[in-house]
Amino acid sequence: MAKMMYREAVVSTIAEEMERDPNVVVLGEDVVGGMGTAGGPEAIGGIWSTSTGLFGKFGKDRVIDTPISESAIMGAAAGLALAGKRPIAELMFADFIGVSLDQIWNQIAKFRYMFGGKTKCPAVIRMAYGAGYNAAAQHSQSVHQILTGFPGLKVVMPSTPADVKGLLRTAIRDDDPVIFLEHKALYGVSGDVPEGDFAIPFGHARLARAGEDVTIVSSGMLLGFCERVADKLAAEGIGCDVIDLRTTSPLDEEAILDSVEVTGRLVVVDEAPPRCGLAADICAMVAAKAFASLKAPPIGVTPPHSPIPFARELESAYLPSDDKIEAAVRKLLAWR
């Protein structure tokens, strides 16, 4: 095991795959690293320090700075993938995916289907998402609920440095397009990361805590909130299964249903708004497939259906919290 930060796991995995496969290329705004300021190439490795060292090691033909045009980045990634490359395209903020949706939704996600499986589009689209930085409504959003709803895309949301490495390696080697969502609040989090050719298959959730009273499902930054709540409740003799989804498409329905069959209670904690969201989707799936096992109605803990506020106090009130998650668990336990 090696100890590294979430962002370091991103860089090291990309570097390893670029060394292994000369067809892997990186493109995006400021991936060369100067952030448009004094210091020159690789000053810090882009705004999130997730491409440090790549330009110096692999050169301008494989680490490509692009204009500030998300649509152009996605179009270039599509062309590279169709031409036999394995592009890793970075969107600086997931919030700006809207201007590139035609390339992602109508082109990249559908090539294999439209051409009867005779072509493939192995593009990885990395993007930073999530709140917690007081960056307001246009730089703090969680967009996975939109992308999960697009057939043809695989959607990945790693919660730990180890999962970054295992899931990103799988994404780069996948012959279908993959959305790889990295929570901004996790970039500085450290953890043990397996060495060597470590990969995690998609569609296999991780059991972060084990218990028999309540099932809690989450991913990304909020998984840590759920783990803290589970640890606190465990001291009272309340056992929580905490499931880290890892991927929202494919979704590990079996892991969720198996847990609910034991606990009979479900809380889904998600950072996206509630309407047409992941929490509602999972609650509906469980209600349809495990209704006889439920001891109480499933609960989603999400932000309200509104844009994310800027003020620190308002953002804290907007997001799911330890207290809100704990309250949901206790509500289910009190159900008669």
Which residues are part of the catalytic machinery?
139
The verdict on whether omega for the bond into residue 250 sits within 30 degrees of 0, i.e. cis, is yes
**Phi/psi of residue 265, nearest 5 degrees:** -140, 140
User: Using CA atoms, how far apart are residues 220 and 206, in angstroms rounded to an integer?
Assistant: 12
Q: 254-261 long-range CB contacts below 8 Å, 24 or more apart?
A: 255/204, 255/205, 255/207, 256/205, 256/215, 256/217, 256/282, 256/285, 256/286, 257/286, 257/289, 257/290, 259/215, 260/215, 260/286, 260/290, 260/293, 260/294, 261/290, 261/293
**259 contacts 211 by C-beta, under 8 angstroms:** no
Buried b (16+ CB within 10 A) or exposed e, 242-274: bbbbbbbbebbeebbbebbeebbbbbbbbbbbb
Return the half-sphere exposure (C-beta side, CA atoms, 13 A cut-off) of residue 3.
Answer: 2
Measured CA distances, 206 to 3, 71, 262, 295 (Å)? 20, 34, 17, 24
